[in-house]
């Protein structure tokens, strides 16, 4: 296949020239995690955002405590304001909440939202159901501590990027089906939803998936994440049959992202089920393009995402 580099926005050409990840396999996964952690800049000073950041441990009945980062803005307009559960990306196999620290500090400061960011257990060491159980425990904790945190339980949303978006979609399905904890909104940024994407069964448009997150990476990660589990919802949201009753959704994807078509398909199914769903597609963008923070598209994304989340949380 000819390269799709010419389709990338000019600001994003570096994504093609200097790939973030060159390979993922059983042999290099642990060292890759360490390399990415080492490359992460130091955490911001939360006081400069007028936000308090705390590391907490969320208990769960059938598993270990879940480490989370809790962000509480020092100044809030509402006596009972919104809450947001954030789930980081990384293909279900890499990443941590620290990688989204600046984004969560900005959100807490700009829209006055209390945020819990989940350090869920990673595959392949901990395949499904462990990662989803961890996120569900955090959602339960946010609801059960809403009075102490001065959160309106009816204004708790969830969201994430890539695998974090996939887990958020799975969490919305689980929350709907369990019926114990209300979710008012989900913000899904190029979510990883369908284990078939990039396989021989569902190779997809050859114009997507060249940069950052490839078909090979996707199949490896899904196999790690699912292990011997059934390939069905909620752990594979793309295989869901019944979309009624899911929360209003902001679905974001990119024209060159491997997940583009599975994201569009999921959004269409939400709409067909009567679920309010905004579908946003950026031309010239690829997976993880926000890493180029100075790019026109990254700045536009930050504005669009923040406004949508504020609206979704009743702001």
Q: Cβ-count burial of 157 within 10 angstroms (0-12 exposed, 13-18 middle, 19+ buried)?
A: buried
pLDDT given at position 230: 97
Quick: pLDDT tens for 245-291.
999 999 999 999 999 999 999 999 999 999 999 999 999 999 999 99
pLDDT for residue 18 is more than 90: no
pLDDT for residue 76 is more than 90: no
Q: How do 81-87 and 51-60 pair as beta strands? A: unpaired
Nearest to 190 by CA among 93, 266, 287: 287
Length of the chain: 315
Residues whose CB is less than 8 angstroms from the CB of residue 76 and which lie 6 or more positions away in sequence, other chains included: 112, 150
Q: Region 5-11: what's the mean pLDDT?
A: 97
| Euclidean distance between CA atoms 37 and 98, whole angstroms | 9
Where along the chain do its domains lie?
5-312
Cα dihedral: 33, 38, 41, 47 (round 10):
80
| Euclidean distance between CA atoms 78 and 22, whole angstroms | 46
User: How does residue 1 score in pLDDT terms, banded at 50, 70 and 90?
Assistant: low
For tokens 């929360």, the residue is: 247
Percent of the chain at pLDDT exceeding 90: 93
pLDDT for residue 78 is more than 80: no
Q: Which CATH class is domain 5-312?
A: alpha beta
pLDDT given at position 79: 78
User: How does residue 2 score in pLDDT terms, banded at 50, 70 and 90?
Assistant: confident
Q: Region 15-22: what's the mean pLDDT?
A: 86
Quick: pLDDT tens for 174-228.
999 999 999 999 999 999 999 999 999 999 999 999 999 999 999 999 999 999 9
pLDDT given at position 20: 79
Beta bridge partners of 253: 281
pLDDT given at position 265: 98
Quick: pLDDT tens for 97-140.
999 999 999 999 999 999 999 999 999 999 999 999 999 999 99
Residues whose CB is less than 8 angstroms from the CB of residue 198 and which lie 6 or more positions away in sequence, other chains included: 204, 209, 214, 215, 216, 218, 219, 258
């Amino acid at each position: 296949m000819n390269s799709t580099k010419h389709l990338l926005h000019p600001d994003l050409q570096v994504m093609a020239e200097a790939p973030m990840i060159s390979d993922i396999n059983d042999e290099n996964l642990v060292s890759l995690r360490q390399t990415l952690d080492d490359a992460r800049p130091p955490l911001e000073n939360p006081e400069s955002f007028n936000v308090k950041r705390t590391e907490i441990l969320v208990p769960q009945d059938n598993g270990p405590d879940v480490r989370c980062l809790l962000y509480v803005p020092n100044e809030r307009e509402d006596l009972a304001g919104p809450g947001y559960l954030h789930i980081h990306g990384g293909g279900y196999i890499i990443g941590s909440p620290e990688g989204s620290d600046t984004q969560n500090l900005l959100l807490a400061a700009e829209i006055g939202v209390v945020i819990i960011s989940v350090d869920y257990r990673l595959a392949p060491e901990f395949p499904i159901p462990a990662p989803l159980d961890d996120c569900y425990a955090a959602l339960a904790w946010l609801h059960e501590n809403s009075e102490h945190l001065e959160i309106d339980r009816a204004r708790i949303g969830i969201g994430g990027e890539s695998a974090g978006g996939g887990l958020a979609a799975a969490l919305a399905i689980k929350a709907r089906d369990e019926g114990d904890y209300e979710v008012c909104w989900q913000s899904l940024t190029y979510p990883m939803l369908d284990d078939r994407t990039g396989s021989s069964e569902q190779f997809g448009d050859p114009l997507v998936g060249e940069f950052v997150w490839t078909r090979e990476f996707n199949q490896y990660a899904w196999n790690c994440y699912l292990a011997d589990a059934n390939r069905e919802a909620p752990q594979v949201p793309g295989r869901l049959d019944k979309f009624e009753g899911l929360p209003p959704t902001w679905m974001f994807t990119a024209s060159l992202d491997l997940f583009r078509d599975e994201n569009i398909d999921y959004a269409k199914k939400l709409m067909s089920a009567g679920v309010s769903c905004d579908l946003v597609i950026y031309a010239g963008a690829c997976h993880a393009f926000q890493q180029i923070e100075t790019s026109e598209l990254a700045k536009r994304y930050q504005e669009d995402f923040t406004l949508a989340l504020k609206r979704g949380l009743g702001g």
